[in-house]
Amino acid sequence: MELIRKAEEKDINDILKLLEQVNLVHYLGRPDIFKPNTKYNYDELVKIIKDKEKVIFVYEMNNKVVGYCFTIKIQHLNNNLLTDIKTLYIDDLCVDKEYRGNHIGESLYRYVLSYAKEQDYYNIELNVWELNKGAKAFYKKLGLTPLKTTLEQKI
């Protein structure tokens, strides 16, 4: 059975395993920036799951979480420069390496897109690291386009 739903505390161990996979891509690509760790720990995930401004969606297959999408509501109310639009920021999206190529990531993204439309968000934003060629191609295929670029000069 396959299901996309909001994450629950019972999912945290599976989510942590996926976070390890994501970080490994980043760590191997830029060990000068990334540590061999996970973005969040167990206690932080408990807090995120309870936070109404952040939603983690999971893709469950046979009672196992094989993918996730972390989202954060962003809105700059009464900002001098930015309009009051409501943005759904994708903080992280991952599919277990054993399940990639089965359109799970696309299903998760489409589900989040539908959720954003239902909740009257203006847009979806995310960051993708230049080193992650697979993710860049994945998002391009889904129709995402660059909004801004972060540049660096190592010194």
**What CATH number did the domain enclosing 48 receive?**
3.40.630.30
Residue 155 lies in a domain: no
pLDDT at position 123 is: 96
pLDDT over threshold 90, residue 87: yes
Residue 43 has φ and ψ, to the nearest 5°, of -65, -40
Residue 50 lies in a domain: yes
Number of structural domains in the chain:
1
Q: What is the mean pLDDT of the chain?
A: 96
Q: What is the pTM of this model?
A: 0.93
Residue 153 lies in a domain: no
pLDDT over threshold 90, residue 1: no
Average pLDDT over residues 121-145: 95
Average pLDDT over residues 129-152: 93
Cα 2 to Cα 13: distance, rounded to the nearest angstrom: 19
pLDDT at position 36 is: 93
pLDDT at position 33 is: 95
Residue 110 lies in a domain: yes
- Domain of 112, in residue numbers: 2-141
pLDDT over threshold 90, residue 150: no
Question: 47: buried, middle or exposed (CB in 10 Å: 19+, 13-18, 0-12)?
Answer: exposed
Instruction: Determine what percent of the chain is predicted with pLDDT higher than 70.
Output: 100
Average pLDDT over residues 104-133: 96
pLDDT at position 37 is: 93
pLDDT over threshold 90, residue 126: yes
Contact 34, 23 (CB under 8 A): yes
The contacts of residue 92 (CB under 8 Å, 6+ apart) are 19, 22, 39, 68, 69, 70
Residue 31 lies in a domain: yes
Average pLDDT over residues 17-24: 96
Residue 150 lies in a domain: no
Residue 88 lies in a domain: yes
Residue 154 lies in a domain: no
